[in-house]
Amino acid sequence: MIYLDSAATTLQKPESVAVASAWAINHLASPGRGGHWPAMAAAEKAFACREEAARLFHVGNSERVVFTSNATHGLNIAIKTLARPGSRVVVSGYEHNAVTRPLHALGVDLRVARSPLFEPEAALDAFRREIERGADLVVCTHVSNAFGFILPIEDIAALCRERGVPLIVDASQSAGCLPLDFEALGAAFMAMPGHKGLYGPQGTGLLLCGIDPAPLLEGGTGSESRRQTMPDFLPDRLEAGTHNIAGIAGLLEGLRFLERRGVEHIAAQEARLIRQIGEDARRIPGVEVFLSHDSAAQAGVMSFRISGRDCEEVGEDLGGRGFALRAGLHCAPLAHESAGTLDTGTVRASVSVFNTSREAEQFIQTLRAVAAES
Amino acid sequence: MLYYLIVCRSLTYAQRTAAALERAGITARVLRSPKSISGEGCSHSVKISQRNLPDSLRVLQRVGLTPKRVYITAGDGSYQEVAL
């Protein structure tokens, strides 16, 4: 099986990730819940993970690195801290349901900064227009999970700072894949999964907090136990209940792997691979590829469709031939609406640092055969 | 042996405190605060030796970490708060 679905979750991880998680299951207890060695060793592991994440994403204070169970969890905390029914919330035209569903549930006044695919300047203009109409909050994905479109997040963040509008960044597809500087962005929150570009286990995620959040869950924190309200300090305020310490131990190894490899190096490798796949796929008759001509606007995710073929059938066909890709709407109907693919969906290829040029060649050979049989 | 306990608002804060002290060459250990000094219930403290308190406070001030309270052990096993 050649795995090209890293936008969903990275399947191939550094070996140290599984080793660390397995060791944690057998040796680590609950951080902050005891003074004995297994609890204190767990606390050290969690702290090391926070510190590593703070270094990687430029967060001055590691208390502001909060463990979540995935990016959706972090986005829900962030959105429910800042949005209220009727709040004017501006989002890009490329958001995932992890953003739009909580906003819908809250009953906000949702304003979509619509822009064509792979046009960063148009995206920025759209945000400017919508913010000028009045905005209480901006939520923006850094990279479209369906198309790999890199939104101009630094410019959008600058616009938000200039207008005093809080910004929530969904870094689900960029964390570990593109350089990120949380403090430079000045965002209120940045949410990310641990199991995609950070190469941690599933069930892990991080929320970086630039402002004080409201808890989504209440419960035990191992601190201020006499109080019946949640602590007013981070990370305890957001971390009710027992931690996923096996996941955190694995995530720490994923972060260390990124530090060793270098995010810039990984970004360059993934960009090279996706361009190889995209450019070669483009030459296949009947295959329509969604790939930016501008490398600065394209991450390691791309979509395509085959004329006359249902995207799910193509995904199934490729799966049967040994290639793992995801087809459909990718939980991002808004992105497909923006790209004009809402009715058909697309097939998505997404790479990780563990994919090779040879695998890309094998995929193209197979795609050629699939397209020829259509 | 006499020692000081720097009570911190959270485990992570205690870990940051201990890490800052260790970086400055001061031995520091995170432990759960004794019940009698834990304030609103469970908390964590950083244990340092008696001779290191002045240096520790200087280091913590430099890096912007504020101790919640500081206690010294008394001969009878109880703790006395130290005025900072």
The band of B38, judged by pLDDT with boundaries at 50, 70 and 90, is confident
Q: Which of B10, B15, B31 sits opposite A233 (nearest CB)?
A: B10
Measured distance CA(B38)–CA(A303) in Å, rounded: 56
Measured distance CA(A126)–CA(A94) in Å, rounded: 12
Q: Do A223 and B9 touch (CB under 8 A)?
A: yes
Please enumerate, as own/partner, the contacts of A269-272 that have beta carbons within 8 Å and a separation of 24 or more. A269/A353, A270/A177, A270/A299, A270/A300, A270/A351, A270/A352, A270/A353, A271/A295, A271/A298, A271/A299, A271/A300, A272/A357
Mean pLDDT for all residues in chain A:
98
Closest Cα to residue A42, out of A31, A27, A26? A31
- On chain B, the residues whose CB falls within 8 A of the CB of A63 are 10, 12-13, 16
Q: What is the pLDDT of residues A207-218, one digit of tens each?
A: 999 999 999 999
By DSSP bridging, strand A205-209 and strand A65-68 are antiparallel
Q: What is the pLDDT of residues A147-166, one digit of tens each?
A: 999 999 999 999 999 999 99
Classify B26 as helix, strand or coil: coil
Q: Do B11 and A224 touch (CB under 8 A)?
A: no
Three-state helix/strand/coil letters over A174-238? CECCECCCHHHHCCCEEEEECCCCCCCCCCCEEEEECCCCCCCCCCCCCCCCCCCCCCCCCCHHH
CA atoms within 13 A on the CB side of A155: 12
Query: CA angle A169-A175-A178, nearest 5°?
Result: 105
DSSP state of B2: -
Q: Which residues face B70 on adjacent strands?
A: B6
Measured distance CA(B30)–CA(B44) in Å, rounded: 7
Classify A115 as helix, strand or coil: coil
Q: Which of B13, B39, B43 sits opposite A63 (nearest CB)?
A: B13
Total Cβ atoms within 10 A of residue A88:
18
Q: Are A23 and A249 in contact (CB under 8 A)?
A: yes
Which A-chain residues 210-229 have CB contacts (< 8 A) with chain B? 222-227
- Percent of chain A topping pLDDT 90: 100
Q: Do A225 and B41 touch (CB under 8 A)?
A: yes
Q: Do B12 and A231 touch (CB under 8 A)?
A: no
Q: What is the pLDDT of residues A7-34, one digit of tens each?
A: 999 999 999 999 999 999 999 999 999 9
- On chain B, the residues whose CB falls within 8 A of the CB of A51 are 19
Decide if pLDDT at A181 tops 80: yes
Residue where the block lists tokens 């960009």: A271
Residue where the block lists tokens 């699939």: A370
Q: ipTM for the complex?
A: 0.90
Q: Are A244 and A67 in contact (CB under 8 A)?
A: yes
Q: What is the pLDDT of residues A205-260, one digit of tens each?
A: 999 999 999 999 999 999 999 999 999 999 999 999 999 999 999 999 999 999 99
Specify the range with the lowest mean pLDDT, choosing from A92-101, A268-277, B37-46: B37-46
Please report which residue ranges of B1-84 form alpha helices under DSSP H.
11-23, 53-63
Q: Do A31 and B11 touch (CB under 8 A)?
A: yes
Q: Do A35 and B9 touch (CB under 8 A)?
A: no
Measured distance CA(A312)–CA(A291) in Å, rounded: 20
Torsions phi, psi for A157 (to 5 deg):
-65, -40
CA atoms within 13 A on the CB side of A148: 35
Query: CA angle A314-A345-A318, nearest 5°?
Result: 15
Q: Are B52 and B18 in contact (CB under 8 A)?
A: no
Of B40 and A241, more confident: A241
Measured distance CA(B1)–CA(B77) in Å, rounded: 10
- Nearest chain B CA: its distance from A38 CA (Å): 13
